[in-house]
Amino acid sequence: MDKFVIEGGVALKGEVKISGSKNALLPILAATLLTQEKCIIKNAAILKDTLTMVKILRSLGVSVNIDNSTIEVKSGSFTKNTADYRLVSTMRASFCVLGPILARLKSAKVSLPGGCVIGVRPVDLHLKGLRTLGAKIEIKDGYVYAEAKQLRGERIFLGGSFGSSVLATDNVMMAAVLANGTTIIENAACEPEVEDLANFLNKMGAKIKGQGTPTIEIRGVKKLYGAEYEIIPDRIEAGTFAIAAAITKGHVVIKNIIPEHLGAVLEKLKEAGVLVKKGKDFIEVKRKNSLKPVDIATLPYPGFPTDMQAQFMTLMSITPGISVITERIYPERFMHVAELNRMGAQIFREGPSAIVHGVKNLVGAPVMASDLRASAALVLAGLVAKNKTEVFRVYHLDRGYEKLEKKLEILGARVFREKE
C-alpha cells in the first residue's frame, strides 16, 4: 500500500484543473446498460472507483474501452444479470446497476453494497422505489434478487430518515425510463450529479423532466439509444482545493468547474474570511487575513455537502475561536476527528456534532485514513502542519481524487507518494 509524506508550511499558489465528477460518472456508466448501442463518456476521471465500475460492467459481458479521459461502452445483448459481491462490496455506487439490469433483463441479482466506513447507509429507499414500480424483491445470502416482467410507472415518495437519497433517486430513475407509463419521484435528490444522470438519459432518448428539483417526472419509453456525453466537473474536488488554498494562506485559481455547484461551500468560506472570486468556469480563492470561526450543518443539496464536512473541519481546527460542525446526513461520519486530534487539533464529539476549538498550529504525525473524504482532510492538515506528516492507506484517496499529489505539487506543495 502507498502512503503520502507531506512537508507542510507552503502557501499554495497557481492554477489547477478539476477532473470530471466521480459521483456523476459512476451512475452514468451504470446507465449505459440500458441500451444495446455504443455510448461515449467524456471528461471521465480515471479513478479506482471508475475502474471498479468498469470491472462490474465487463463481468456482465459488456465491452468497455478507456482512452485517457474518454470511456466507450457497448453493452450489446448482454445476458448476465449478476453483479458479484467481490466487486459491489468495495463501492456503494456500484449498487446502481440494479435498476438498469432489472429494466433490461427483467431480473437482477446484485450484492448488497460496501464502500467507505462512514456509518450505516441502508438501501431501503432503492428497494421501496423498485417495488413500487412493480418489482418483486427478495434479500437472500447477501444479495438482492429482483424480478419484473414489466415495470410500470407510479408515484413514489423517496424521503428517508436523513432526507433524500442520491443513489436511490438514480436507481429508480434508471429503472423508470423503460417502464410502462409515467413515474413521479417525490422528494427526489436535487444534487447536480442526479441532474447530470437525467441529462444523459435524455440524450439517450428518455423523457425526464424536473431534474434538479424535488419532483422528477419520467415518461417511460420502449427503447434507449447510444449517446455521447461529457461529465460535469467534480464539485467536491473543487471544494477540497478551495479549502487547500484557504488553509495554507494561498492564492489558487480553480479551473474547469461550475461555480454554482459550490454555492454553500463558497459562502461558508467567505463567512470564514476567505476571499472568493467567481468566474464563468473558475473560482479564485485567496486568503490574506486571519480566519473566523463558522458553524456548519450538512444537508442535501443545495445545502452544505456531507462530502465536504471533514475538509471544512480541518480548516476550522486552525481557526481562532469555537465552531460547531453538525452532520445531518451520516451522523457517524467523524472517523477523522481522532486523527486530527493526533496532529494537535482540539475537537470534541457531542452526538451528531463536533465542537472545534481552533489551535494556533497543527503538528505533523503519522495518521491513518479511514475513508475517502477523511483522507482528504488529513492531507489538508498535513499541508499546514509543522514538520512531516505521513498519511497511511491513501488508496481511499485514489477512489475519489485523480492524481491528487501531482495537482498539489503543481501548486507548490511538498507531497510525496511512497510505499508503506
194 in the same domain as 279:
no
Of 213, 230, 247, which residue is a domain's last? 230
Give phi and psi for 298, each to the nearest 5.
-75, 140
194 in the same domain as 291:
no
Q: Checking DSSP bridges between strand 136-140 and strand 107-111, what pairing results, if any? A: unpaired
Q: How far apart are CA 10 and CA 6, in angstroms?
A: 10
Catalytic residue among 39, 96, 116, 190: 116
12 in the same domain as 51:
no
126 in the same domain as 57:
yes
The tens place of each residue's pLDDT in the chain, 420 residues long, gives: 899 999 999 999 999 999 999 999 999 999 999 999 999 999 999 999 999 999 999 999 999 999 999 999 999 999 999 998 888 888 888 999 999 999 999 999 999 885 444 344 578 999 999 999 999 999 998 899 999 999 999 999 998 877 889 999 999 999 999 999 999 999 999 999 999 999 999 999 999 999 999 999 999 999 999 999 999 999 999 999 999 999 999 999 999 999 999 999 999 999 999 999 999 999 999 998 999 999 999 999 999 999 999 999 999 999 999 999 999 998 889 999 999 999 999 999 999 999 999 999 999 999 999 899 999 999 999 999 999 999 999 999 999 999 999 999 999 999 999 998
372, 400 in Cβ contact below 8 A? Answer: yes
End-to-end CA distance of the chain: 6
Closest to 75 in 3D by CA, of 207, 208, 204? 204
219 in the same domain as 139:
yes
* Order of all β-strands in the sheet with 82-83: 82-83, 107-111, 143-147, 136-140
Q: What is the CATH number for 377?
A: 3.65.10.10
285 in the same domain as 340:
yes
Q: Does 116 participate in catalysis according to the annotation?
A: yes
Of 202, 230, 258, which residue is a domain's last? 230
215 in the same domain as 276:
no
Q: How far apart are CA 141 and CA 95, in angstroms?
A: 16
Of 230, 245, 267, which residue is a domain's last? 230
Which three-class secondary structure string do you get for the chain? CEEEEEECCCCCEEEEECCECHHHHHHHHHHHHHCCCEEEEECCCCCHHHHHHHHHHHHCCCEEEEECCEEEEECCCCCCCEECHHHHCCCHHHHHHHHHHHHHHCEEEEECCCCCCCCCCCCHHHHHHHHHCCCEEEEECCEEEEECCCCECCEEECCECCECCHHHHHHHHHHHCCCECEEEEECCCCCHHHHHHHHHHHHCCCEEECCCCCEEEEECCCCCCCCEEECCECHHHHHHHHHHHHHCCCEEEEECCCHHHHHHHHHHHHHCCCEEEECCCEEEEECCCCCCCCCEEECCCCCECHHHHHHHHHHHHCCCCEEEEECCCCCCCCCHHHHHHHCCCEEEEECCEEEEECCCCCECCEEECCCHHHHHHHHHHHHHCECEEEEECCHHHHCCCCCHHHHHHHCCCEEEEEEC
CA dihedral of 321, 326, 332, 334, whole degrees rounded to 10 = -30
7 in the same domain as 106:
no
Give the structural domain span for 78.
22-230
CA 19 to chain centre: 13
202 in the same domain as 58:
yes
Contact residues for 209 (Cβ-Cβ < 8 A; gap 6+)? 216, 217
Name the domain count of the chain. 2
pTM over 0.85: yes
315, 359 in Cβ contact below 8 A? Answer: no
384 in the same domain as 278:
yes
27 in the same domain as 14:
no
86 in the same domain as 209:
yes
